[in-house]
Amino acid sequence: MKNVAKAKIANEKELQKVALDRKKLDEEMKEYFRRENMSFKEKSDEAKDFHKIKNDKSFNMAFAGHTKTGKSSLINAIRGIKNYDAKAAKVGITETTRYSEKYSYSQHKNFTINLFDIPGSGTQTHESGKYYQ
């Protein structure tokens, strides 16, 4: 009898886990479809909010392209730092940049220059066919 009770408890825990996993996937799918149906302006505004960009005093440059072509290394070179420095854009032999990252380059009294390191295209997470849309 104890084994049956233990099995029921284990089964209930597994069912709860599956239910939570399904709920999480449902939320991710809703977010995916919400973003797929957003206009360019809506996506742009969301990115500006996320990165705390103020239009009036910022020059923002993004580096986009295929994976492993040196986007992060270029940002580090422009900023005058080595790839292995603590504040450097991360570089590696595999896909390293998975999310857009903002790096401040210049803090002039009248404006700021921000460099954005964007994930490379041609990977499972960033397909080439959708990357340049």
Give residue-wise pLDDT tens across range 13-59.
Answer: 888 888 888 888 888 888 777 778 888 788 778 878 887 776 667 78
> What is the mean pLDDT of the segment spanning 90-95?
80
CATH number attached to the domain at 52-123? 3.40.50.300
Question: How confident is the model at residue 44, as a pLDDT?
Answer: 79
Which tokens in the block code for residue 130? 């959708």
Question: How confident is the model at residue 131, as a pLDDT?
Answer: 60
For residues 124 and 73, the model is more confident at 73
Q: Do residues 114 and 50 touch, judged by C-beta distance below 8 A?
A: no
The reported pTM is 0.54
Instruction: Spell out the domain ranges in the chain.
Output: 1-37, 52-123
H/E stretch holding 112 reads strand 112-117
Q: How many CB atoms lie within 10 A of CB 68?
A: 16
Q: How many CB atoms lie within 10 A of CB 120?
A: 24
> What is the mean pLDDT of the segment spanning 105-116?
80
Which tokens in the block code for residue 84? 């292995």
